[in-house]
């Protein structure tokens, strides 16, 4: 299997685990490709569409601190209100942008 594909599948599993621990019901769209990797329903009934991505950082020129490489949503994802979920492969930490709850 191609490393980027296996990393992507692991990110999806870590995100699904994270959402389950928060008490969400998690559904996976049948169609592939899909604008979202998961449909998550909160305990209060709020519905979120999430796309998982491997979290990665870079140091920009003339800077010292690494910054997250943010992925751009497609026009369809923007229309649907999909949120990007960045998954750290080493720590399994998940950062959702914008956050689910403020």
**80 found inside a domain:** yes
C-alpha to C-alpha distance for 50 and 3, rounded to whole angstroms? 22
- Report the CATH number that the domain containing residue 31 is assigned in CATH: 3.40.1350.10
Residue 30: give the domain boundaries.
Answer: 3-97
Query: Are the CB atoms for 85 and 94 separated by under 8 Å?
Result: yes
Q: How does pLDDT run across 8-26, given as a tens digit for each residue?
A: 889 999 999 999 999 999 9
pTM: 0.84
Residue 102 lies in a domain: no
Tens digits of per-residue pLDDT, 32-51?
789 999 999 999 999 999 99
Residue 101: predicted pLDDT? 78
Examine residue 29 and state whether it is found in any structural domain, yes or no.
Answer: yes
How many domains does one find in the chain? Answer: 1
The answer as to whether 62 is a domain residue is yes
Beta carbons within 8 Å of 2's beta carbon, 6+ residues apart: none
Q: Residues with Cβ < 8 Å from 82, sequence gap 6 or more?
A: 35, 36, 49, 50, 51, 73
Q: Tell me, yes or no, whether 69 lies in a domain.
A: yes
């Amino acid at each position: 299997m191609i490393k980027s594909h296996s990393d992507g599948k692991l990110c999806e599993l870590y995100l699904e685990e994270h959402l389950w621990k928060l008490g969400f019901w998690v559904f996976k769209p049948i169609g592939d490709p899909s604008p979202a990797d998961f449909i998550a329903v909160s305990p209060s009934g709020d519905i979120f569409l999430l796309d998982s991505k491997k979290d990665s950082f870079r140091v920009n020129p003339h800077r010292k601190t690494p910054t997250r490489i943010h992925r751009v949503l497609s026009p369809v994802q923007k229309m649907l209100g999909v949120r990007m979920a960045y998954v750290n492969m080493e720590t399994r930490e998940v950062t959702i942008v914008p956050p689910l709850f403020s």
